[in-house]
C-alpha cells in the first residue's frame, strides 16, 4: 500500500480543497445550520469508493476502532462521535449543507437538498455562491478513483463498506 501514497496524498489534497469550500459555506449559512458535535442523526452505514476507503485506511492512526453494527446508525459511531472524524469520507463531510445535484434527465438543472434539521427558520435563495456543487466534487473523486484503480494490483469492488475498515487494521 505504501506505493499508493501518491494517490492517497492526492485524495487528501482534494479533501482539503473540499474543507475550504465547506468552511466558507458554514460561514455564509451560520444562522441556519444546527450541525454540532454529537449530532449524529445523519450517520448511517455507508459505502465509499476504493480511493476513499484505502486513503482513510492509510490515515487511521488508532487500531482501537470499535465497530458496533446497528441498523440505526453508522458502525463507526461511538458515544455519538465519529471515530474517524478527521478523515471521514466526502459524503459525511458535506452532509447537512445545501448540496446541488443535477437531475438525471437534465444534468444542468440542479436541485438543492440539505439536512432537515437545518434551515428551519428560513430557506435562503440558493445560488452558485452559497451551495456545494456535488456533481463537480464527485467527478473529481471518480477521476482520483480511476487513477488509483489503474495502479492497484488486484481486483476491487466498485464501492466498499466503510465498516469493513476494521478488517484491514
Ligand atoms: S464515518 Fe463518521 S461521520 Fe461518517 S457516517 Fe460514520 S460516524 Fe458518521
pTM of this prediction exceeds 0.85: yes
Question: Quick one: pLDDT band at residue 2, thresholds 50, 70, 90?
Answer: low
Hey, whose CA ends up nearest to atom 1 of ligand 1? 88
Q: At what angle do helices 5-28 and 134-151 cross, to 10 degrees?
A: 170
pLDDT at 54 over 90: yes
SS3 of 94, please?
Answer: helix
Largest CA distance in the chain: 51
**DSSP classification of residue 4:** G
Domain extent at residue 152 = 2-168
Residue 8 · residue 55 · CB < 8 Å? yes
User: What domain count does the chain have?
Assistant: 1
Residue 96 · residue 43 · CB < 8 Å? no
From 57, 76, 93, mutation site for ligand 1 pocket: most ligand atoms within 8 A of C-beta: 76
How would you list the strands of the sheet with 132-133, edge to edge? 106-113, 99-103, 132-133
Most confident option among 64-68, 158-162, 164-168:
158-162
In angstroms, what is the span from residue 43 Cα to ligand 1's centroid?
Answer: 5
Indicate which atom in ligand 1 lies nearest the CA of residue 40: 8
Hey, whose CA ends up nearest to atom 8 of ligand 1? 43
Q: Does ligand 1 have an atom closer than 6 angstroms to the CB of 162?
A: yes
Question: Quick one: pLDDT band at residue 94, thresholds 50, 70, 90?
Answer: very high
Question: DSSP characters for 110-151?
Answer: EEEE--TTSSSS--PPP-GGGSEEHHHHHHHHHHHHHHHHHH
C-alpha cell of residue 46: 455507508
In angstroms, what is the span from residue 76 Cα to ligand 1's centroid?
Answer: 6
Amino acid at each position: 500500500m505504501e506505493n499508493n501514497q501518491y494517490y492517497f496524498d492526492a485524495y487528501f489534497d482534494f479533501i482539503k480543497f473540499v474543507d475550504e469550500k465547506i468552511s466558507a459555506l458554514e460561514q455564509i449559512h451560520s444562522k441556519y445550520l444546527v450541525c454540532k458535535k454529537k449530532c449524529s442523526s445523519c450517520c448511517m452505514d455507508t459505502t465509499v469508493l476504493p480511493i476513499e476507503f484505502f486513503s482513510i485506511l492509510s490515515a487511521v492512526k488508532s487500531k482501537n476502532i470499535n465497530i458496533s453494527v446497528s441498523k440505526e446508525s453508522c458502525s463507526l459511531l461511538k458515544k455519538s462521535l465519529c471515530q474517524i472524524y478527521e478523515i471521514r469520507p466526502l459524503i459525511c463531510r458535506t452532509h447537512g449543507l445545501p448540496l446541488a445535484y443535477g437531475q438525471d434527465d437534465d444534468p444542468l438543472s440542479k436541485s438543492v437538498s440539505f439536512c432537515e434539521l437545518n434551515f428551519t427558520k428560513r430557506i435562503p435563495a440558493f445560488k452558485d455562491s452559497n451551495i456545494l456543487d456535488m456533481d463537480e466534487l464527485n467527478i473529481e473523486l471518480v477521476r482520483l478513483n480511476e487513477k488509483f484503480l489503474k495502479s492497484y494490483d488486484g481486483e476491487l469492488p466498485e464501492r466498499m463498506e466503510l465498516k469493513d475498515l476494521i478488517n484491514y487494521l
